[in-house]
Amino acid sequence: MYVWIWRHLPGPLALRLFQVLLLVTMVSLVLLFVVFPWVEPRLPFNKVTVNQ
């Protein structure tokens, strides 16, 4: 998959590297601010209260 993406990025090496950086940043931001906030309440850890 990564090879396929790399092959399909246009431009010279420097431009491709910049695009890779951009893609990684975009994926990270989506994970950090959309996916993880949704997933986290469904995970068992970080519970701090006692209850029956």
Partner 1 sequence: MTDSQSPSQGVPAPTPAPRARRDVVGLLLRGIGQTFITAGFVVLLFIVYEVWITNIFSDAKQQSLRNDLIKEFRAEVPVGDDPVVKAELGLPNGAQYTIPVGTGIAVLYIPRFGKDYAKAVVEGTDDNDLSKGPGHYTGTQLPGKVGNFAIAGHRVGKGEPFLNLDQLLPGDSLVVQTKTTWYVYSVLGDPATKNLTVRDAQGVPGREIVSPSNASVVNPVPGKANVPADKATEALITLTTCHPKFSASQRMIIHGVLSRTVAASGTALPRELVGGTL
Q: Does 13 bind partner 1 (CB under 8 A)?
A: no
Q: Does 8 bind partner 1 (CB under 8 A)?
A: no
Q: Cα–Cα distance between 45 and 48 in angstroms, integer?
A: 9
Q: Interior CA angle at 32 toward 29 and 34, to 5°?
A: 90
Closest to partner 1 by CB, 15 or 31: 31
Q: Cα–Cα distance between 36 and 28 in angstroms, integer?
A: 10
Residue 7 C-beta: closest distance to partner 1, Å: 9
Binding site for partner 1 (CB under 8 A): 1-3, 28, 31-33, 36, 40-41, 44-52
